[in-house]
Amino acid sequence: MNGLALAYIGDAYYELEVRKHLIDTGFTSVNILHNKAINYTSSKAQAEIIEYLINSNLLSEEEMHAFKRGRNNSSTGRKNVDAKTYVLATGFESLIGYLYINNKNRLREIMDISFKFIEKGEDGYLIGTALEIKGCHSQGKNMEELLANMREAIGLCLEVQGESDPYIKEIVGIQKVAV
For residue range 8-38, list pLDDT tens digits in order: 999 999 999 999 998 888 778 888 889 889 9
Residues 6+ apart with CB under 8 A from 23: 33
Q: What is the DSSP letter of 139?
A: E
pLDDT for the residue 95: 97
Domain extents in the chain: 3-120, 124-179
Say how far apart CA 138 and CA 150 lie, in whole Å: 6
pTM of the entire structure? 0.70
pLDDT for the residue 109: 95
Parts of the chain with a pLDDT under 70: 72-79, 121-124, 131, 163-179
24 catalytic per annotation: no
Q: One of 11, 24, 123, 165 is an active-site residue; which one? A: 11
CATH architecture assigned to 3-120: Orthogonal Bundle (1.10)
